[in-house]
Chains A and B, each alone.
Chain A
């Protein structure tokens, strides 16, 4: 909301500079986002008297005008259609003047030197009229500064008005707020004095829907002539961002900006039957609104109708048929109070928000209707040279007083944390316009003024007292810390996990959660598992992700587009899964870890670059599982399950022996389908709270007896994993088989194709005694025999 400081100063004594006023408003709740000094962009422009006008020698569309600017005579080339006759006054910018960013210079136009320019409102940046020169009153002194002649000086405050303060959407409301802050009286705006003439033809007003329209005020003004508003009105509207239209329309906008009370002006001659009926719409009823669109209504909408049908959508927008036109002479001014939720529903349903609906849906001052209406009528009669006819119509009236709100002073101190003297409480509330009555136990019964619909509860009054008293005046008491129970959920564990992964060399990413179906399907999701959005940003972002990988792979693609050799990325984030079978309730959300290793791995010298492979991925998994989850992990080949990974490396990730995710090289077909780099190693792991070990590690006693190591090398089929052999060896060996580990894998000379040699170290150690050679030999032979029969292997000696 733009607020003119000059206008405020008509309502309240306000000698403080604009910056200070802005600061005080900001601190008490009307945040001033910017202060603009009006007219500051204009330097050196003056009033000029036209002395002589003669045709331009070379350009038939231009004239050479001789102007007096109080210093001397200047010749100026001008192409405007409305150059005043000699003796007339207009706006003149001599060389050296500044019009916003434009510095005026002498320049030749069609062979004639032009010393500066004659200006329109638009040239000067002070209005919207670009049709011709700004013509000044005949009495203007040549050479007088335009700032002085046109009263350009003002400050415009950009005020952020929160939804609870509809009164702040008008200058009067801001003036009242300043009156409370500065403890000064506010002068209510006075319309120019007018005489009411006798009623000529009675307009008939009936409100059939008092719930939707609790108060309907109307006033007829006749004998009007449509014309442009005087300069002061047009300039004020311009500063406040409203286009000046005509005197009659401008009056409705001035009242809106002053009282925050929307008006509607009907051309009385176009109201069929001379009648106004306020009622709910009939289903399917239609009307053309001012913007030229046909609107269709539902029974929830409140309409203003004439004798035959709708002429306005109540509180939202007027109808085309009864719009003020250049030939309008008689006007019915509507000044009403509508039910806010009902206006909001209609405005939203029609997708039509206006300055009126914006205010009505926040709440207007029902009690202020007569004042705003009288002000509008008087101003319209003056500017349009018409007459106010008959008494104002007022259907619905002020209504019953709202129930008083009980305020306990002790409550104020208890919530705010400082004592307020009772004088301060009473004074603040009274200056806000509240009516007070004493109640029992020192409490007050408070009735808020009509312009403050937000003050309906005790807490609302507590806030008023606190904010007018000033939050800066509050003591800031530092918090006392109480030890609470441990944090639930994953947060601290996720913090550890991200530190571990960053230390391992990965870059953390934060991706969007929106995706399209084909992308999610590429990772095995089906449509009925995905959560769709009702109003997605676009079709490519219509679903919530079921996997972190598309985002990470997109990031890798970006890195390659920037010609980086590789990308090692992770994300810790949520995925979303629709509950099966249309189960109601929220979707299933799970925390996941996603890792993508794409392109080259560079360790140390760049010449040592190698492609990332499955074992790099396994190292990252090990870091996560051992370093953060602190749970045993394993990779198990599962090409049939993880179809989006290369069949040679597709694995399931197991944590604690249970399936928890997948890992492997992205399937080249999937990479092509998603247009991401081939060869990326990908991993995704679901992080349920139980996958994080909460308890501390338990210590095993250190070995006291020597170990005996026996190696075993054998040729296996390619499908046998080292893990299979280790697991079997453990199963086959005695309890004193302490460790089994693979230490070599060999393919090539001496090994048939499709087979590989693997070598294992078996460490035997008894916790309680030294083993004998014979014991070890027997145990080891048992393991070897078992493996031979299990895998049909050849033992290499």
Chain B
């Protein structure tokens, strides 16, 4: 670096003073704008260094190179001081942006909170989904039915005690109408409407003339029907065991025992190991260690005759389950009334 010219000690001093003042101004600048304004006092169109530059022409020629070189050094110096200051300011601003009081993440989120699915409906949809994955299609039917579809075609003859199993709500209208006591009439409607193979799952509301602490006059069932030319009682066992394990977990054990329904023969019921006490015996399983989950059986030939299927050619199984019971077991509920009261304090427990 060339030493400052001897003949211009006053220039060196002036430049030094200007840069000193720039430093002070830059230090006082709070932001980039102020810093640039400070630098402009030297480097701008009307800046001090610009003014000195204009003086260059008035100097004797021999002095010019030294003067010019000093001036240029000073300009570079000022520009780099500005740059440094800007970098610092930027870093400070970034750091400031990271400081400040923390937000309170425990405040409620903006907008409406998520709603609540009713456990009965969620359970019903989940059951249907499991059978859907096994190739069952959903079928639906009317909730007001006639005697033929609800009883007669399902092999409940008139004057037969099997009708006592289901206390019926009758509709005051011509044609022996009633509130369906089970989802089974949809089996009849499905089979009357199509030829085998049939593979349907039937969700829906059903009704009984019964209203007390453990019975609701309206409740929900899911029913299934599979008809082809080869499906057996062993297939029924396999299918429903798979269902119970899908619903309650693969480690739950299942038993299959004989029972009676007018529209199936052989008939059975599927129990699973009590999910509450794991089989030790508790209030929920009434000490037996087992929970009744569903009723089932091979479609009775009398039912096939009612829908015009040849029972020598076609065979298959049907099953039905109460959604209420499965929902209660799944959610650890003991009072069925909660399912039908729509108490928002109860519903809010389900997402």
Contacts and interface: CB of A to CB of B under 8 A. Distances in A.
B233 A507 contact: no
Contacts of B241: 476
Interface in B139-163: 139-140, 142-146, 158-162
Interface stretch (B9-17, B40-48, B118-126): B118-126
B344 A507 contact: yes
Interface core residue of B241, B265, B266 (most chain A CB under 10 Å): B266
Given A341-B159, A474-B233, A29 B260 contact: yes
Contacts of B233: 415-417, 466, 471, 474
Contact of A415 (B232, B339, B343): B232
A508 B170 contact: no
A479 B118 contact: no
A576 B205 CA distance: 13
Interface string B224-238: 001000001111011
Classify chain B's interface size: 35 or more
Contacts of A474: 233-234, 237, 256
Interface residues of A, number: 101
Contacts of A482: 135, 197, 199
A487 B170 contact: no
A415 B342 contact: no
Contacts of A457: 301
B238 A476 contact: yes
Nearest to A499: B117
A568 interface: yes
Given A472-B255, A531-B173, A558-B343, A344 B134 contact: no
Interface in B157-181: 158-162, 164-165, 169-175, 177, 179
A26 B255 CA distance: 11
Interface of B is mostly: mixed
A484 interface: yes
Nearest to A480: B135
A459 B300 CA distance: 8
Contacts of B257: 26-29, 31, 471-472
A502 interface: yes
A586 B142 CA distance: 8
Contacts of A414: 232, 315
A163 B258 contact: no
Interface string A554-588: 11001100101001110011101010001011110
A511 B164 CA distance: 27
A164 interface: yes
Nearest to B170: A534
Nearest to A30: B258
A503 B256 contact: no
A603 B111 contact: yes
Given A484-B199, A491-B140, A535-B169, A562 B343 contact: yes
A93 to B, nearest CB: 28
Given A416-B234, A471-B268, A537-B217, A163 B260 contact: yes
Nearest to B287: A34
Interface string A398-426: 00000000000000001111100000000
A587 B144 contact: yes
Contacts of A578: 173
Contacts of B175: 584-585
A526 interface: no
A483 B223 CA distance: 19
B341 interface: yes
A508 B121 contact: yes
B116 A502 contact: yes
28 contacts: A417-B233, A463-B267, A474-B234, A475-B237, A477-B232, A477-B235, A477-B238, A478-B239, A479-B242, A481-B135, A482-B199, A484-B137, A487-B138, A491-B140, A505-B113, A507-B347, A512-B217, A512-B218, A513-B143, A536-B169, A544-B171, A555-B344, A558-B344, A559-B344, A562-B343, A578-B173, A589-B143, A603-B112
